[in-house]
Amino acid sequence: MFKGVLFDLDGVITDTAEYHYKAWKKLADDLGITIDRKFNESLKGVSREDSLRLILEYGEMTDQITDAQFQALATEKNDNYVVMIEEFSEADVFPGILPLLKALKQHKIKIALASASKNGPILLEKMHISDYFDAIVNPASVPNGKPAPDIFIAAAESINVPVTDCIGIEDSKAGIAAIKASGVLPIGVGQAADLGSDIALVDATDKLTFDYLTTVWASKQ
């Protein structure tokens, strides 16, 4: 039986993946760079700075931006994003997530947050679910962001559970790659076209029941 569950946040626990996209799209539009949802798949799970690098590369603007401008753009995106999540509350927790957190607690399974977002702790507070988490990894504390495995390895360590006894839940391509590289068992929230057809997938979070996780775990043995 698994002993720990490592959650991504944006797009798994709540709909913030959509707000990250809206905030990046506005920033890109202002720079004259057109990004769409397909391109956005490559930004999901990726840190703020790496996302901005990808957008500037995509718009062939990397060489035109100074370090100071880069920092200002990253701050501008985050300022816009923070306004969008200002009113977040319990109502913004995706369907099925609260029952899953409760069931995991009941079964004494450890829970950690493995999100690349520096806004993670604030969002958990706003949604009143911080208390379910035994640990929240500070993404600034790991050397390499997703798709590197670092944050999932750190998350497993933070709850004192070996990676081989953990399930990781992710909605992004970079995040699934990170989970796979860490030795954690992945469950994807999304479509095979984006996340691959070689892992357990749900199309919506209400399918993430405790029974479902148990079945996925059993099928890996």
Per partner kind, with CB cut-offs from 5 to 8 A, the member of ligand BG6, Mg ion, none near residue 42 is: none
- The reply on whether position 172 binds Mg ion by CB under 5 A is yes
Taking CA atoms, 46 is separated from 43, 105, 172, 219, in Å, by 5, 29, 9, 30
DSSP string, 109-125: -EEEE--S-TTHHHHHH
Q: Applying CB under 6 A, which part among 102-110, 111-119, 159-167, 206-214 lies near ligand BG6? A: 111-119
DSSP 8-state symbol, 39? H
163 is in an annotated binding site: no
DSSP 8-state symbol, 190? S
**Distance from C-alpha of 178 to C-alpha of 173, rounded to nearest angstrom:** 9
Token pair for 211: 């029974």
- The reply on whether position 205 binds ligand BG6 by CB under 6 A is no
Q: Which of 6, 33, 109, 116 binds ligand BG6 (CB under 6 A)?
A: 116
Taking CA atoms, 111 is separated from 19, 131, 159, in Å, by 25, 10, 7
Q: Which is nearer to ligand BG6, 97 or 165 (CB)?
A: 97
In the bound complex, what is the minimum distance in angstroms from residue 72's beta carbon to Mg ion?
25
Active-site residue flag, 63:
no
Q: Applying CB under 6 A, which part among 28-36, 41-49, 181-189, 191-199 lies near ligand BG6? A: 41-49
In the bound complex, what is the minimum distance in angstroms from residue 122's beta carbon to ligand BG6?
9
Token pair for 115: 């999100």
DSSP 8-state symbol, 201? E
Q: Which of 20, 25, 126, 180 binds ligand BG6 (CB under 6 A)?
A: 20
Active-site residue flag, 92:
no
Provide the terminal-to-terminal Cα distance of the chain, rounded to the nearest Å: 10
Q: Which is nearer to Mg ion, 20 or 110 (CB)?
A: 20
Q: Which residues are catalytic?
A: 8, 10
Interface positions with Mg ion (CB under 5 A) = 8, 10-11, 171-172
